Amino acid sequence: MANSSGPAAGSFRAALQHRGFARYLTATTISSVGDFLNSVALLVVIYRATGSAGWLGVVAVLRVLAWAGATAVGGVVSDRRDRRRLLVVLNVVAAIVTFGLVLAAGIDAPFLVLVALSVGLDLVAGLVNPACAAAVPSIVGEEDVAAANAAVTTVEQVSIVAGPALGALLVAAFSPEVAFFVNAVSYVIAAVLFAGVPVGGTVVGEDEPPARFRDGVAAVRASRPAMLLLSIFVAAVFSYGFSIVLFVLVAVERLGLSDAGVGYLRMAEGVGGVAAAAIAGRVAAKNSVGALVGTALAAGLTPVLLALTTSPAVAMVVLGLGGGAYVVFEVIVVSWLQRITPDEMLGRVMGLLMSMGALGTAFGAFLAPVLNGAIGLEWTLVVSGAVPIGLIIALWPMLPSIARDAAERQAELAPIVDVLRGLSIFAAADDLTLEHLAGLVEPSEVAAGCVLMSEGDIADDFYVVRAGILDVRSSGGSGGEATFVNAMGPDDWLGEIGLLQRSPRTATVTTTTAATVWRIPGDEFLAAFAGNASRPDILGGTMAVRLARTHPGRAADIIDDIVT
């Protein structure tokens, strides 16, 4: 009988019980908060050194491009090196660069030194991010990876609020140098913590990012709805690029705050985003043109309203609402793209979305100081909001057709989604995840006497039985004669053990009668758990029961997590 005091498999507590995950989570928390407070201090020190919106824009552009380029490289590096060593080394390098910022700011070094150091720090951050993300499964195992990813996401959301607030406090009470120093120390602490995390690396084959990028471009060009959605998204992040530069000027020139006030403005925006994240998925599921238009207009109106107020309190309320609107808008755009894009092209289209987003942000940061010098801060704020507002109004007549496409695809997949939702293994999956899996389902009619999977084979796919009877036999890993262990019928599933435990198949499954089965690619099955806060307890229990029949020794490892 399960003990209520023991952690349920797939829960946050279960993830924390894995050796090293608590250290990993602490390291990422400290590092993430440090990154956000550093950004505030950097904006302040650049503004104090130059008093120029132009230089704020130049540095912002360079930082975005450095981070985007390094992230692409980092994904390759993290798959070819020991990830623990990589995380330690990169955090040490980041600490050295940040200590350089402390020194450079303290001795009033030439401004270009500060620029070079800040860009260098973003290069390192871009290399770190993929290694951090790739490390989680090898720390907690696939069984608890969903809960672990949820914990990391929670940390990121908290950092969005806490980092800018702490940065503003340190700059206002002390100096940017103190904020840089705290950030440098955070990297040192993170490096020490990562050194004790049991995580390795995996060597993979050669990748071809340029080809995939070109395929993504081709997929978007061939789809008018996808092109429209991408255009709207780029317009929104273009406006965000403006805010990177203009928020310091808004704090000082419009609101009468110190330059450290930019941290409080960012904090207000983050609070709104965190609050809206809780409802964004439900709003996106409705395929509402009004929701897309409304959130896009609200996000675009945010800088316009900032141009009309000189009250810090009003500005923070406006930013909180705008930050929330932007989060919902982004989720709607991504969910519509998921529904209208062929599944085989979705990864490349999402990659294009991120790439274009980075370029849009960089262009906005580049243009902001140019317009500020030409037409002044207030009108530049109005222009930054007018771009997404104008585009959404221009495209408004076309949006209902996109919503219909998304709704039609949603309706087409609904019967499959209903079946998947009825399986307890997917009890924790949200509707968008189930829709994505439904689009990947490959129904197969299998004749009686066919072998669906063989004991010892590499685990590749996940199966749902829709009709027929299947015979399950296993030798228990002994290599001897396989014996009958179970029979499966409609709405049973199989293949999850090898996928979740990264192990060979534990049994041979043969169709006793003609059968209908649904196949879901294994990597997509695993990804279905990565975005959810928990996995249903029944999955751990089912795996334990099945392994007890075929591999009793391995079942004990799972039972230990469920039964105390």
How do residues 9-60 score in pLDDT, each as one tens digit?
Answer: 445 565 566 667 778 888 888 888 888 888 888 888 888 888 877 788 888 8
Count other C-beta atoms under 10 Å from residue 174's C-beta. Answer: 12
CA–CA separation, 509 and 451 (whole Å): 6
Whole-prediction pTM: 0.67
Per-residue tokens: 356: 């274009």
Better-predicted residue by pLDDT, 173 or 128: 173
Chain mean pLDDT for the chain: 77
| Three-state secondary-structure class, residue 525 | helix
**Least trusted range by pLDDT, from 202-211, 350-359, 428-437, 472-481:** 202-211
- Residue/partner pairs of 159-162 with CB below 8 Å, 24 or more apart: 159/29, 159/32, 159/33, 159/35, 159/36, 160/36, 160/270, 160/273, 160/274, 161/267, 161/270, 161/271, 161/274, 162/33, 162/36
Phi, psi of 534 (to 5 degrees): -155, 165
Average pLDDT (515-526) is 85
Q: What is the mean pLDDT of residues 540-545?
A: 42
pLDDT at 379: 93
Backbone angles phi, psi at 473, to 5 degrees: -130, 150
Percent share of the chain, pLDDT over 90: 9
More reliable by pLDDT, 140 or 173: 173
Question: Which pLDDT does position 313 carry in this prediction?
Answer: 92
Q: Is the pLDDT of residue 101 over 80?
A: yes
Q: Tell me whether residue 39 is exposed, middle or buried, using C-beta atoms within 10 angstroms of its C-beta: 0 to 12, 13 to 18, 19 or more.
A: buried
Nearest to 405 by CA among 481, 305, 336: 336
Range list of β-strands (E), 269-404: none
SS (H, E, C) 486-518: EEECCCCEECHHHHHCCCCCCCEEEECCCEEEE
Dihedral over alpha carbons 109, 110, 112, 117 (to 10 degrees): -10
> In angstroms, how far is CA 529 from the centroid of its own chain?
13
Helix (H) or strand (E) holding 519: strand 515-521
Q: Is 34 helix (H, G, I), strand (E, B) or coil?
A: helix
- What pLDDT was estimated at residue 147? 58
* Separation between Cα atoms, residue 351 and residue 76, nearest integer Å: 15
- pLDDT value of residue 46: 84
pLDDT for res 72: 63
